[in-house]
Amino acid sequence: MLTSIRNSSVLTAQFRLGACRVGNATTLKASQLFSRKQQRFAHTPTRNAGFKQLTSADIEQFKSMLPSETILATPAVGGSSDPVELEGFNADWLNKYRGASQLVLRPKSTQEVADILRYCNENQIAVVPQGGNTGLVGGSVPVHDEVVLSLRNLNKIRGYDEVSGVLACDAGCVLEELDNYVAERGHTMPLDLGAKGSCHIGGNVATNAGGIRFLRYGSLHGSVLGLEVVLPDGTILDNMSLLRKDNTGYDLKQLFIGSEGTLGVITGVSLLTPRRPAAVNVAVLGVSSYEQVQVAFKLARQRCGEILSAFEFWDASCMGAVLHHHALRNPLSSEFPFYVLIETSGSNKSHDDEKLSELLEELMEAEVVEDGALAQDDSQIAKMWTMREGIPESLGKTGATYKYDVSIPIPVLYDVVGDIASRLEAAGLYKQGDTTRPVKLVCGYGHIGDSNLHLNIVADKFQDKVTDIFEPFVYEWVQSHRGSISAEHGIGLMKRDYLKYSKSSPMIDYMKRIKSLFDPKGILNPYKVV
């Protein structure tokens, strides 16, 4: 039936019942993070005894380099900050990893970052760079007592060229704030993700974040034009190019994109911002099988290729969680095994409306899609996006969430969800619908347009007994299907020991050589990636 796609009044009435809020990492506050008991994994690497343990003399040195209000040091290292103030810097967003740092430094300039790193390098003090701390692989928090180097005070826009759309800014600028800034000038950031209200552009570059606009604007490897990076020995690499074309030898900035804070600290970013689309349409569709999701994607590209800006999917378990935790109602007439969100962005509203309507009609007539809803205004668009972007937060509220962000060829992409569920069932840890078992949900969602699945397993707590059922199985599964063990979140601490499933040993060997070239003493983000 086509009615709910066409009948805007029905849709509006349904949506009016729910409060609108776009999923945002800031919604889990530090106090909530610490209300859940945290497990330390058997796989946690032991502390490298070569790293210096901080003393009050070190704190005095940092005080001579930085304004006092930018330093948080606990009494354990001769400071006076309440350890509670450091908790938010020590625990990750998933509440899965927790360090024991006693010192957080929040420099306000590139020169201060350079002074800190030079001192740490000379004194063999380990450092973890931290942006918005929304990373999902344990990369942004200390493993032991590393100094946290927070970039949050480096948050100025350095310049904007409205003709070329080139933005230059500090690394600690929050993605959503940058998007608001360029929106006022008719442009958009080339990336968008559920954590936009908290993550920093420097963190985005350091993780080579993907997100929901990857389908349209591609990777940060293409959008980033220049970087300013401070190396572990304090050298400032000023590569803040504002040019799209620059073929002057090796493109060093590419090495830092996706390096997860292991090669240098990014302090400045310049990047290309596309024109903001004048016309945006969003539809949510109910689909009866994963096969039909693929048919819908193929047809969407055929019919709306030039205006298609996102094609996301999620399964019924994700929908259940998001509707439970957000004040939203399903805009469709009933429940479906799969949901698809299609977004078009273009410059001519009537042209885009017509193309999308034709696509939706064709999908319905061919019975690829069983029901759908087309947003009638910006508020409905926001609510539909909440249904997709609110999934991570909803799963986090359901329980301890194991996250795998894998790239798998589209035809077999969803099979891994069933295979993992079967393994957990065979081990007696999971039965769909039975919340008394240790594992409550096994579900999948993601950026299907980019072959990127988010496989999530929600348990009552993180524990090795559960983890061992699907690790390394999930990585072996991905390797055997020629996939990647990380499509967008990176390696961090979580996947460090599993890199071999996506990289050959000569490649890992060269990665290690690059690491020791930039960071011979290994002080920067130790225990992570390689």
Whole-angstrom Cα distance, residue 336 to residue 289?
9
CA dist., res. 530 & res. 523, Å (int): 13
129 binding partner (options ligand MLT, ligand FAD, none; Cβ < 5 to 8 Å by kind): ligand FAD
Are the C-beta atoms of residues 70 and 153 closer than 8 Å to each other?
A: yes
Binds 79, which of ligand MLT, ligand FAD, none (CB < 5 to 8 A, cut-off by type)? none
Q: Which residue has the tokens 């090795």?
A: 464
CB of 195 to ligand MLT, least distance (A): 7
Rank residues 277 and 446 by Cβ distance to ligand MLT and give the closer one: 446
Instruction: Output the residue with the shortest Cβ distance to ligand MLT.
Output: 392
Please list every residue from 375 through 394 that binds ligand MLT, using CB under 6 A.
391-392
Q: How far is the CB of 391 from ligand MLT (least distance, A)?
A: 6
Would you say 416 and 470 are in contact if contact means Cβ atoms under 8 Å apart? no
- The count of other CB atoms within 10 Å of the CB of residue 291 is 13
Q: Which amino acid is at 256?
A: F
Please identify which residue in 200, 213, 454, 528 interacts with ligand MLT, judged by CB under 6 A: 454
What distance, in Å, lies between the first and last C-alpha atoms of the chain? 53
Query: Pick from ligand FAD, ligand MLT, none: which does 191 bind, CB < 5 to 8 A by kind?
Result: none
Asked whether position 144 contacts ligand MLT by CB under 6 A, the answer is: no
When the beta carbons of 414 and 518 are compared against ligand MLT, the nearer one is 414
Q: Which tokens go with 181?
A: 């800034």
Helix (H, G, I), strand (E, B) or coil at 354: helix
Residue 417 binds which entry of ligand FAD, ligand MLT, none, CB below 5-8 Å type-dependent: none
- For residue 530 the two structure tokens come to 């390689």
Question: Which stretches of the chain bind ligand FAD, using CB under 6 A?
Answer: 23, 25, 93, 128-136, 139-140, 151, 171, 193-195, 199-200, 202-204, 206-207, 209-211, 260-261, 265-266, 392-393, 488-489, 492, 525
User: β-strands 147-150, 103-105: how paired?
Assistant: parallel
Minimum distance from CB of 146 to ligand FAD (Å)? 10
Q: Which is nearer to ligand FAD, 4 or 204 (CB)?
A: 204
Q: How many chain residues interact with ligand MLT (CB under 6 A)?
A: 7
207 binds, among ligand MLT, ligand FAD, none (CB under 5 to 8 A by kind): ligand FAD
Query: Which of ligand MLT, ligand FAD, none lies near 203, with the C-beta cut-off 5 to 8 A by kind?
Result: ligand FAD
* Least gap, CB of 444 to ligand MLT (angstroms): 10
Q: Which residue has the tokens 């704190």?
A: 59
Q: Residue 403: which of ligand FAD, ligand MLT, none does it interact with, CB under 5 to 8 A by kind?
A: ligand MLT
Q: What's the one-letter identity of residue 524?
A: L
By a kind-dependent CB cut-off of 5 to 8 A, residue 232 interacts, out of ligand FAD, ligand MLT, none, with none
Nearer to ligand MLT, 167 or 458 (CB): 458
Q: Which is nearer to ligand FAD, 190 or 392 (CB)?
A: 392
The site partner of 4 among ligand FAD, ligand MLT, none (C-beta below 5 to 8 Å per kind) is: none
188 binds, among ligand FAD, ligand MLT, none (CB under 5 to 8 A by kind): none
When the beta carbons of 210 and 286 are compared against ligand FAD, the nearer one is 210
Q: In sequence order, which residues have a C-beta less than 8 Å from that of residue 307 and are 6 or more positions away?
A: 344, 345, 346, 352, 355, 356
Is there a contact between 457 and 418 (Cβ–Cβ < 8 Å)? no
Task: Please confirm whether the linkage preceding 438 is cis (ω < 30° from 0).
Answer: no
Interface characters, 339-378, with ligand MLT (x: CB under 6 A): ----------------------------------------
Q: Answer yes or no whether residue 194 interacts with ligand MLT by CB under 6 A.
A: yes
> Which of ligand MLT, ligand FAD, none interacts with 328 (beta carbon under 5 to 8 A by kind)?
none
* From candidates 179, 315, 405, 471, binder to ligand MLT by CB under 6 A: 405
- Mapping DSSP onto H, E and C, the string for 165-193 reads CEEEEECCCEHHHHHHHHHCCCECCCCCC
- What are the Cα distances from residue 390, in Å, to 190, 194, 319? 21, 7, 10
Partners of 458 in the β-ladder: 401, 441
Which residue type sits at 289? S
Q: Which residue is nearest to ligand FAD (CB)?
A: 203
- Indicate the residue type of 394: S
Strand-by-strand arrangement of the 157-161 sheet: 157-161, 166-170, 265-272, 224-230, 236-239
Residue 286 vs 396, nearer CB to ligand MLT: 396
73: tokens are 């040091």
Cα distances (Å, whole numbers) of residue 360 to 208, 267, 283, 337, 442: 33, 45, 9, 19, 30
Give the shortest CB-173-to-ligand MLT separation in angstroms.
Answer: 20
SS (H, E, C) 139-167: CCCCCCCCEEEECCCCCCEEEEECCCCEE
Which C-beta is closer to ligand MLT: that of 54 or that of 406?
406
AA identity, residue 514? I
Q: Is 403 in the site for ligand MLT (CB under 6 A)?
A: yes
CB of residue 12 to ligand MLT, shortest distance in Å: 26
Task: Determine the Cα–Cα distance for residues 400 and 472; give it in Å rounded to an integer.
Answer: 19
- Nearer to ligand FAD by Cβ, of 317 and 407: the residue is 407
Structure tokens at 503: 């990289």
- Interface positions with ligand MLT (CB under 6 A): 194, 391-392, 403, 405, 446, 454
